[in-house]
Amino acid sequence: MKAIIYLSKSNDKRIKFYIPYKRIDFREKIKRLNSTFWHNNQKLWSIVNTKENLNSLKSIFGNEYIIEQNDAPKPVKKRLLTKALLDEIDELEKTLTLTAHSQSTIKTYKNMLTVFFSRFMNYEIKQITKEQIEGFIYQLIKENKISESYQNQMINAIKAYYEHVLGMPREYYEIKRPRKSVSIPNVLSENEVLKIIQYPENLKHKAILWTIYSAGLRISELVNLRIADIHSDDGYIFVKGAKGKKDRKTILSEHLIRLLRIYYRMYKPSYWLFEGQTGGKYSVTSIRAIFRRAVKETNSNPWATVHTLRHSFATHCLQNNINLRHIQNMLGHNNPKTTEIYTKTIEINNKKIKSPLDNLFENSTLAG
């Protein structure tokens, strides 16, 4: 597969381009250029839009690139809202806080509602029809090329506002939603995981990566771990108030116990298992930086994120013949179908699975 350079208008600030996953050589050269940036949500790279930079891209890609129209997602515009509309957003925040929604959800819904109000600023909000809302979302899909995730978040924010703040009837919210695409999670090999989690020389950094992988934790769950959540005598980690406000237990590795004991004696955390330099929870941003550096320095899969460790945990558990129900409980999935996606991540080759064709020939007297 070839690299793709997306055509830019003269007034565009940046040139966006796509590099195939396997072209590590392209990525290494791109990183040496000034002003390059990786857009994780779009899975695209960009560089400042100059003739010199365009020529540099063409030189790096050689004959292995194509040029296409820029169909990358466009930023969704917002307008300065009136005080009345800002008050409505505050009402949504208050309602969601009282109903124990997470801060992440509240922040997302407020952002989505700001976009929604920007479009309908001159309308009486209660009089906006279902068809107008569908038309608004359709416009975002066509013009801004929003993702399925963004579309669902927008619909959920609108539903939350009309239902919980305005108290309008539920049937109002039957808005068409996208069919959810089924993608296979990105997974690291066992060897890649070992190199990544062993890379940090800093004991706290190493303990953080070990804990995430060994227990299949989300990054938010890691930073919320308390010392009291490590039950070394009973061999489990207690995860309190995880996604969906659910408590659960997950496995506690014997190797991790030994590492955490050394870490505890050295750092002496007071309440949270992993604390920042000035106390309080460890920074999510810092954990991502630790992981990115480990991935880069070990030349591991450049598409991996901290969450990839959780996907890898689930896949490696399956490879080790751990019951799917146990994996579901450790990950905190409500629906077993969510966990079953990991059956598609298991490496398939003729070293692990024998083709029925091979069985036919081995068992047949007519073989040869």
Catalytic residue among 16, 119, 218, 316: 218
- 325: number of Cβ within 10 Å: 10
Catalytic residue among 248, 310, 311, 316: 310
pLDDT of residue 13: 78
pLDDT in tens, 277-312: 888 999 999 999 999 999 989 988 877 899 999 999
Q: In a 3-state reduction of DSSP, which class is residue 240?
A: strand
pLDDT of residue 145: 80
Asked about 243 being catalytic, the answer comes back as yes
pLDDT in tens, 213-253: 999 999 999 999 999 999 999 999 999 987 777 899 999 99
Residue 320 has pLDDT above 80, yes or no: yes
pLDDT of residue 325: 93
> By residue range, what is the domain housing residue 337?
198-344
Residue 71 has pLDDT above 60, yes or no: no
On whether residue 365 sits in a domain, the answer given is: no
Calculate the alpha carbon distances from 266 to 225, 274, 281 in Å. 18, 12, 17
On whether residue 313 sits in a domain, the answer given is: yes
H or E, element range at 44: strand 44-48
Residues 312, 217 share a domain: yes
Overall pTM surpassing 0.75 (yes/no): no
Residues 121, 28 share a domain: no
> Rounded to an integer, what distance in angstroms lies between the CA atom of residue 196 and that of residue 186?
15
Residues 34, 110 share a domain: no
Query: Of 12, 33, 68, which one is at a domain's C-terminal end?
Result: 68
Number of structural domains in the chain: 3
pLDDT of residue 10: 64
Residues 156, 288 share a domain: no
Half-sphere exposure of 177 (CA within 13 A, CB side): 14
The dihedral sign for the CA sequence 33, 34, 39, 44: negative
Residues 105, 12 share a domain: no
On whether residue 358 sits in a domain, the answer given is: no
In the chain, the percentage of residues whose pLDDT exceeds 90 is 52
On whether residue 188 sits in a domain, the answer given is: no
Asked about 310 being catalytic, the answer comes back as yes
- Is residue 152 within 8 A of residue 178, CB to CB? The reply is yes
Asked about 307 being catalytic, the answer comes back as yes
Residue 148 has pLDDT above 90, yes or no: no
Asked about 39 being catalytic, the answer comes back as no
The dihedral sign for the CA sequence 5, 9, 11, 12: negative
